[in-house]
Amino acid sequence: MNRNAFIGQNVETLFKNSIGDHPSAVDAIRDKFKIVGYFQGAMKTGIHGEKVDVKLGFSCGHNIDANIKAFKEESGFNQLTRTSVAHFCQVFDITERRCELEDIVVNKSKNTNHPLFSESDWLNWKPFFTSRKTDILRWCMSSAPSREILVLFNRTSSKMLIYSMKEAIHVLDGGIEYSKGGFNIGECVSFQRKGGNGSLSRNIPKSSIKHPGNNVQLKLKVNKFVEIAEKIKLCDYDI
């Protein structure tokens, strides 16, 4: 396995094993969250960690949760989350509009050159997305922003970039802007139909809501975020 593939698949382990070797980074985290104890160690959370990939433990009993993502400078977007329309509607308590949103997504699958939302659909849905945009950002980014950090690993430069999750969400939160793919929140986050061929689901028609391409997803324009979030970066270190 080449180095880039190894890093891409093991970035959580890479962070877990490296953070303790960078006391200035640990101190920056301790200062930000007003932690009085000393750093005891880091552990991966496994598949049940929701948005949390690694936990940092301190002697005072304070834990900091880390949401970790790898990216390349030449890449455009990094997936934040994907889910079925049914689950999205359940999370945001709009199950009565599930069929409506499912029809919108399935119609996009029939002609991917068309916008996800028609003009009339967008007029109908924009008030909801505008009123819940901050909740949507929190949902796709974090379980508890007040005790979490966002860690981005730049695979091009082999650098860990660390941010307070609460401040990262504040930077990401912006106006709603209509797009062909769906809509954007601020300058960095997009909401769209997942798309793709669904190579593992060839027996499911692409026009079926059960096809994985008819999930909805949120994606992060990582390079743009790194640019505009420079002022809130806690610290960084080289691997």
Both tokens of 203, joined, read: 């027996």
Q: What is the pLDDT of residue 143?
A: 84
40 pLDDT exceeds 90? yes
For the chain, first and last CA: distance in Å? 18
Are 179 and 44 in contact by the 8 Å Cβ rule? The answer is no
Both tokens of 194, joined, read: 């997942």
Both tokens of 197, joined, read: 């061929």
Specify the higher pLDDT residue, 203 or 25: 25
Q: Report the DSSP beta bridge partners of residue 169.
A: none
Q: What is the pLDDT of residue 200?
A: 61
Residue pointed to by tokens 């960078």: 22
pLDDT tens digits for range 170-216? 999 999 999 999 999 999 999 999 998 666 667 888 889 999 999 99
Burial of 12 (0-12, 13-18, 19+ CB in 10 A): buried
* Among the ranges given (21-25, 44-48, 55-59, 137-141), the one the predictor scored with the smallest mean pLDDT: 44-48
Q: What is the pLDDT of residue 77?
A: 81
Both tokens of 183, joined, read: 């809509």
Percent of the chain with pLDDT over 90: 79
2 pLDDT exceeds 50? no
Q: What is the pLDDT of residue 105?
A: 97
50 pLDDT exceeds 70? no
pLDDT tens digits for range 126-153? 999 999 999 999 999 998 899 999 999 9
Model-level pTM?
0.89
Both tokens of 226, joined, read: 């790194």
Tell me the C-alpha distance between 163 and 55, whole Å.
Answer: 15
